[in-house]
Amino acid sequence: MSYMKCSRKEKTSHSRLELGYESPHKASRLSFVPERVGDMVTVFIRFGILVCLVASISFALHSAFAKPDRWFPLPEHIHTVQNNTSVIDSGPTNISHILFGIGGSANTWHERSNYSKLWWNPNTTRGFVWLDKKPEILQADMLVPYQISQGWKRFKYVHSASAVRIARIVYESFKLGLPNVRWFVMGDDDTVFFTKNLVNVLGKYNHNQMYYIGGSSESVEQDVMHSYDMAFGGGGIAISYALAAHLAKMMDGCLSRYFYFYGSDQRVWACVNEIGVPLTREGGFHQLDIRGNPYGFLAAHPLVPLVSLHHLDQLNSLFPNQTQIHSLEKLISAYDIDPARIVQQCFCYDHKRRWSISISWGYTIQIYPLLLTAVDLQMPLQTFKTWRSWEDGPFTFNTRPMSSDPCQKPAMFFLDEFKEVGKTGSITIYKRHEGEGGKCTRTDINNVEVERIRVSALKLDPEYWNNVLRRHCCQLLGGGSINNGSMHIRIRKCRPQETITI
What is the per-residue pLDDT across 353-395, written as a single tens digit (0 to 9) for each? 999 999 999 999 999 999 999 999 999 999 999 999 999 999 9
Residue 317 in any domain: the answer is no
Specify whether 178 is located in the same domain as 257. Answer: yes
- Gap between the Cα atoms of 345 and 457, Å rounded: 13
Q: Which of 8-17, 326-335, 417-426 has the lowest mean pLDDT?
A: 8-17
- Gap between the Cα atoms of 120 and 118, Å rounded: 6
Percent of the chain scoring above 90 in pLDDT: 70
**pLDDT over 80 at 13, yes or no:** no
Specify whether 248 is located in the same domain as 357. Answer: no
Q: 241-257 and 264-275 helices cross at what angle (nearest 10)? A: 110
Amino acid 81: pLDDT = 41
Specify whether 274 is located in the same domain as 355. Answer: no
Specify whether 223 is located in the same domain as 335. Answer: no
Q: Are strands 98-103 and 126-131 parallel, antiparallel or unpaired?
A: parallel
Specify whether 274 is located in the same domain as 380. Answer: no
Most confident of the ranges 5-9, 31-35, 315-319: 315-319
Final residue in a domain of this structure, among 232, 260, 286: 286
Handedness of CA 209, 214, 220, 224 (dihedral sign): negative
Tell me how many domains the chain contains. 2
Specify whether 206 is located in the same domain as 345. Answer: no
Amino acid 36: pLDDT = 54
Specify whether 422 is located in the same domain as 335. Answer: yes
Residue 294 in any domain: the answer is no
Query: What number of other Cβ atoms are within 10 A of residue 287's Cβ?
Result: 27
Is the bond preceding 462 in cis, omega lying within 30 degrees of 0? no
What CATH number did the domain enclosing 109 receive?
A: 3.90.550.50
Query: What number of other Cβ atoms are within 10 A of residue 433's Cβ?
Result: 14
Average pLDDT in the 446-451 region? 92
| Structural domain of 221 | 76-286
Amino acid 58: pLDDT = 57
Amino acid 161: pLDDT = 83
Instruction: Render 226-249 in DSSP notation, one character per residue.
Output: S-TTS--GGG-EEEEHHHHHHHHH
Specify whether 209 is located in the same domain as 334. Answer: no
Specify whether 281 is located in the same domain as 353. Answer: no
Distances (CA, A) of 202 to 63, 227, 284, 322: 33, 23, 12, 33
Residue 498 in any domain: the answer is no
Q: Which helix (H) or strand (E) holds 59?
A: helix 37-65
Amino acid 157: pLDDT = 81
**pLDDT over 50 at 12, yes or no:** no
- Gap between the Cα atoms of 100 and 102, Å rounded: 6
Final residue in a domain of this structure, among 234, 256, 286: 286
DSSP 304: S
- Gap between the Cα atoms of 134 and 4, Å rounded: 106
Amino acid 502: pLDDT = 84
DSSP-derived 3-state class of residue 392: coil
pLDDT digits (tens, 9 = 90+) for 28-85: 443 444 445 456 556 566 666 665 565 655 555 444 444 333 333 334 334 334 434 4
Q: Where are the alpha helices (DSSP H) in 227-323?
A: 241-257, 264-275, 295-299
Average pLDDT in the 102-130 region? 93
Percent of the chain scoring above 70 in pLDDT: 81
Amino acid 467: pLDDT = 92
Could you tell me which residues are beta bridge partners of residue 452?
Answer: 431, 486
Could you tell me which residues are beta bridge partners of residue 367?
Answer: 357, 411
Residue 440 in any domain: the answer is yes
Handedness of CA 379, 381, 386, 389 (dihedral sign): positive
Residue 171 in any domain: the answer is yes
Specify whether 336 is located in the same domain as 264. Answer: no
Average pLDDT, the chain: 86
Q: Which of 4-18, 264-278, 358-372 has the lowest mean pLDDT?
A: 4-18
Residue 103 in any domain: the answer is yes
Specify whether 117 is located in the same domain as 224. Answer: yes
Amino acid 461: pLDDT = 94
Residue 166 in any domain: the answer is yes
pLDDT higher at 156 or 15: 156
Amino acid 40: pLDDT = 59
Q: Which residues, 6+ apart, have CB-to-CB distance to 89 below 8 Å?
A: 208
pLDDT digits (tens, 9 = 90+) for 200-235: 999 999 999 999 999 999 999 999 999 999 999 999
Q: Where are the alpha helices (DSSP H) in 120-212?
A: 161-167, 169-175, 195-202
Average pLDDT in the 420-447 region? 90
Specify whether 272 is located in the same domain as 167. Answer: yes
Final residue in a domain of this structure, among 257, 286, 315: 286
Residue 402 in any domain: the answer is yes
E-state strands within 307-374: 308-309, 345-350, 355-360, 364-368
Amino acid 79: pLDDT = 39
